[in-house]
């Protein structure tokens, strides 16, 4: 299925060149303004990986153990270990002390919901993005731009007529990147929503432009629709992503997470 091909987590071990400024725990915003998006490479040295693995819960280690490929296991451990490290910096708690719960559709959240810290993560081909916000749902997605997919076929099945037409109007050389911008914007919105697909994927539209991400045809009720925002993300040369948030428009801080 197209979706399975698109969400392939494979790829080489070449470490992505992250374009955002490096920062770390001390820069994690503890106030409640703005939204942070952290980017991290997942192919780590063995000792870094072992250190992160020690912070995982039994359920996460069991999940890691179910991956067939060692590379996928290691990337899962890295993604979860880094998630814990990032959230721990905001909570002022040890990474191993955090507990997650999951929505019916699988969206993770902190068990300690009263703290108001919301997050979401995405990973593709050795790169992870983490969105962190206070008291507002967030969704993030990232994909490595790659040529081995049937852009027109997938757009015909999953994009709205407006998006498919916009994609066809884009010169061939830029079309694949525009396709991934569209895909990640739709996906980020769905991940922020967190309830799966209450509306058809092709029943809402997002913009495809590089610099500006907008919802063009809303999937929400009129009272809800003005509360959702999309932001384009370009964390590394071969990757595109998107952030979706609910609430008022906010400043987004994009940085590379420096492993501690």
Ligand X SMILES: CC(C)(COP(=O)(O)OP(=O)(O)OC[C@H]1O[C@@H](n2cnc3c(N)ncnc32)[C@H](O)[C@@H]1OP(=O)(O)O)[C@@H](O)C(=O)NCCC(=O)NCCS
Task: Determine the interface stretch with ligand X among 21-29, 103-111, 231-239, 246-254 (rule: CB under 6 A).
Answer: 103-111
Whole-number minimum distance, CB 52 to ligand X, in Å? 13
Taking the least distance from each CB to ligand X, the nearer of 10 and 21 is: 10
Angle made by CA atoms 21, 253, 135, in degrees to the nearest 5: 145
CA–CA dist 243, 148 (Å, integer): 25
- Nearest Cα residue to 19 out of 45, 44, 39: 39
Closest CB to ligand X among 183 and 228? Answer: 183
Segment 3 to 42, residues that bind ligand X, using CB under 6 A:
3, 7
Q: Tell me, residue by residue from 130 to 169, as one string, x for binding to ligand X by CB under 6 A and - for no binding.
A: ---------x-x----------------x-----------
Name the minimum Å distance from CB 250 to ligand X. 19
Question: In the window 72-91, what residues touch ligand X (CB under 6 A)?
Answer: 76, 79
Residues in the chain: 260
Neighbours of 109 (CB within 10 A): 16
Q: Which of 5, 61, 99, 105 binds ligand X (CB under 6 A)?
A: 105
Instruction: Return the bridge partners of 108, or none.
Output: 102
Long-range contacts of range 217-225, CB-CB < 8 Å, 24 or more positions apart? 217/160, 217/162, 219/189
Site for ligand X in 192-251 (CB under 6 A): 194, 197, 201
- Min dist CB 94 to ligand X, Å, is 20
Q: How far apart (Å, rounded) are the C-alpha atoms in residues 132 and 219?
A: 23
Per rule CB under 6 A, count of chain residues that contact ligand X = 23
Cβ contact 185:242 at 8 Å: yes
* Nearest CB to ligand X, comparing residues 71 and 222: 71
100-102 and 108-110: which strand pairing? Answer: antiparallel
Phi, psi of 250 (to 5 degrees): -140, 160
Question: Residue 157 gets which letter from DSSP?
Answer: H
Judged by CB, which is closer to ligand X: 126, or 194? 194
Report the sign of the C-alpha dihedral through residues 89, 91, 96, 102, in that order. negative
Query: Cβ 182 to ligand X, closest distance in Å?
Result: 7
Interface residue with ligand X among 107, 125, 144, 181 (CB under 6 A) is: 107
Stretch that binds ligand X, among 31-39, 115-123, 219-227, 231-239 (CB under 6 A): 115-123
> Least separation, in Å, of the C-beta of 185 and ligand X?
9
Binding map of ligand X across residues 175-194, x = CB under 6 A, - = no contact: --------x--xx--xx--x
Distance CA 62, CA 167 (A): 41
Sole residue written with tokens 């999309």: 230
Q: Which residues bind ligand X (CB under 6 A)?
A: 3, 7, 76, 79, 105-108, 120-123, 139, 141, 158, 183, 186-187, 190-191, 194, 197, 201
């Amino acid at each position: 299925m197209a979706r399975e091909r698109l969400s392939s987590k494979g790829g080489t071990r070449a470490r992505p060149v992250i374009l955002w400024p490096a920062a770390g725990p001390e820069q994690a915003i503890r106030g409640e303004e703005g939204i942070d998006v952290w980017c991290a490479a997942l192919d780590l040295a063995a000792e870094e990986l072992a250190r992160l693995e020690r912070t995982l819960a039994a359920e996460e280690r069991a999940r890691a153990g179910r991956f067939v490929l060692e590379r996928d296991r290691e990337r899962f451990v890295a993604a979860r270990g880094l998630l814990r490290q990032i959230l721990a910096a905001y909570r002022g708690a040890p990474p191993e002390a955090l507990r997650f719960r999951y929505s019916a559709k699988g969206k993770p959240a902190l068990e300690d919901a009263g703290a108001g810290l919301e997050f979401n993560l995405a990973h593709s081909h050795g790169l992870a993005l983490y969105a962190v916000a206070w008291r507002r749902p967030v969704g993030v997605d990232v994909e490595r731009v790659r040529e081995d997919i049937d852009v027109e076929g997938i757009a015909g099945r999953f994009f709205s007529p407006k998006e498919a037409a916009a994609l066809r109007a884009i010169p061939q050389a830029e079309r694949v990147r525009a396709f991934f911008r569209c895909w990640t914007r739709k996906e980020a919105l769905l991940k922020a929503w967190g309830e799966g697909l209450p509306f058809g994927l092709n029943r809402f539209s997002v913009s495809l432009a590089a610099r500006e991400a907008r919802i063009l045809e809303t999937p929400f009720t009129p009272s809800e629709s003005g509360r959702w925002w999309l932001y384009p993300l370009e964390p590394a040369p071969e990757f595109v992503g998107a952030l979706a948030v609910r609430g008022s428009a906010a400043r987004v801080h994009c940085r590379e997470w420096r492993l501690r």
